[in-house]
Amino acid sequence: MTGTPPLILILCTGNSCRSHLAEGIVRAAIGNGFRIASAGSKPAGYVHPLAIKVMAEIGIDISGHHSKHLQEFLTEPVETVITVCGNADQACPVFPGQVNRHHFPFDDPAHATGTEEEQLAVFRRVRDEIRAVFGAYAAGRLDGRGAGG
């Protein structure tokens, strides 16, 4: 062990919405004892502006995030992989050092249609669902710090 905090990698297909929502929520909830990152199997190349907006509403800034390919992490010791959509779960490789794997699927708010306000309602719903699941996950990790995930 190098003394580097364990890496929790959150995967989605496009790495534009759900994985960034989850990354921001986990990072805010878990503090400095872990490294938190997100990536995608087919990255969109951007973070969705409405994802940034709904996270700002709860005091979490993800405006500095960027869309990444999961291949960037293939040589890193990833302790936990969490997929947030079915495609990423199916496409997920095994990472070196990977101890834990979880699958928490959520609707993709990027597919929301209608007015911006109607789309924001979908983003807020998914954000709140992710906050409930990942808030509980983070609390569990903090309670059992060396117990895995």
One of 8, 9, 11, 12 is an active-site residue; which one? 12
Contact 11, 84 (CB under 8 A): yes
Name residues whose C-beta falls within 8 Å of residue 21's C-beta, 6 or more positions apart in sequence.
51, 54, 55, 62, 126, 127, 130
The separation between CA 51 and the C-alpha centre of its own chain, rounded to angstroms, equals 12
One of 85, 120, 122, 138 is an active-site residue; which one? 85
Q: Is 85 a catalytic residue?
A: yes
Contact 100, 149 (CB under 8 A): yes
Q: Is 12 a catalytic residue?
A: yes
Q: Which helix (H) or strand (E) holds 112?
A: none
One of 10, 88, 92, 138 is an active-site residue; which one? 92
Q: Is 17 a catalytic residue?
A: no
| DSSP structural state of residue 148 | -
Q: DSSP string spanning 115-130?
A: SHHHHHHHHHHHHHHH
Q: Which residues are catalytic?
A: 12, 85, 92
